[in-house]
Structure 1
Amino acid sequence: MARRKWHRYREMLDQFDMNYGDDESKLEGLQRLCADCGVKIGPSIKQCKRILKSANVNILDLIYAKQAGVLIQRHSSRGALMDYTRNGMIFPKKLAKENGFLTALLVEVF
């Protein structure tokens, strides 16, 4: 069961890479991610990453919303996002760290 779930997360990461790229130094991918998260689009890599830190979006919701072609759910605060994420919407930290874009969206929930 755990192996199947891990494989599913890996597929999600591959899908994410197809949409945004897997090279965190690519400004265009970060700008697309900012747009999809509904936050200001920064003019530089550094600014995009800083802006994404305040996006308050759940990584799984982002991936599901992109697949479905709908707007991503944003949370009103970091605390609200943490509470929501603790209720089972957790993307594995290890996999998220494999993609430099996703690291900007990580929040400490435990």
Structure 2
Amino acid sequence: MPAINAFTARYPGFQPDDTETLAQTFKRLSVYNNWPKKGKKQSQRRTHFYAAEFAAHYGTDGTKLEGWQKLCIDVGIEDPPQSITKCKKALKKRLVNLVNLMEHCRDPTIEVKHFKSFATFQNYTLNGMIFPKAAAKQSRFLAELLQSIF
């Protein structure tokens, strides 16, 4: 079941649906609020929505080892390191798509995909699975998984 994130909580009449993807939820929220489909403001809303979704699962305090270890476990590091520095180092070695990771957080039956080649990762990501870069940069956690795909 998806966590209620701080962004969607600002719209009390809006009901999250645990069967939807992040993109579907954001699209429905946009329709609910009669927001335009495109534009700078809409891009900012999408960024805040995705950042809030991540924070709902991992928190925002990058100084807490527990958040780093949870992230390690979720990306397939079975025995998470015992320090933040070692967690960061281990995470740098993983190619995971951030949207797929968030979908896994919302629905643990969705498997986190691990990519052996950068080309396969890049192709998957560019096929509609792009997490907003600005949202990823806002999070100390996500910055460790961020890859330059362009």
TM-score of the pair, normalised by structure 2: 0.66
User: Do 2:50 and 2:132's aligned partners in 1 also have CA atoms closer than 8 Å?
Assistant: no
Confirm whether residue 31 of structure 1 aligns to residue 82 of structure 2: no
Provide the residue aligned with 1:76 in structure 2: 116
Structure 1, unpaired ranges of 5+: none
Read off the aligned partner of 2:101 and give its amino acid letter: L
Structure 2, unpaired ranges of 5+: 1-36
If asked which structure has higher relative contact order (CA below 8 Å, sep 6+), I would say 1
Measure how far apart 1:8 and its partner are.
3.9
Measure how far apart 1:33 and its partner are.
0.4
Confirm whether residue 65 of structure 1 aligns to residue 92 of structure 2: no
Residue pairs, 1:12-51, within 5 angstroms: 12-40=50-78, 41-51=80-90
CA RMSD of aligned residues (A): 1.6
Provide the residue aligned with 2:93 in structure 1: 54
Identify which range, 69-78 or 37-46, moves more after superposition: 69-78
Measure how far apart 1:21 and its partner are.
1.0
Structure 1 stretches (4+) deviating beyond 3 angstroms? 3-6
Which secondary structure state, in structure 2, belongs to the residue aligned with residue 23 of structure 1? coil
Identity in percent: 36
User: How big is each residue's C-alpha offset from its partner over 1:66-87, in whole Å with a ceiling of 9 and x where there is no partner?
Assistant: 1012231111233321221122
TM-score of the pair, normalised by structure 1: 0.88
Higher helix share: 1
Measure how far apart 1:12 and its partner are.
2.7
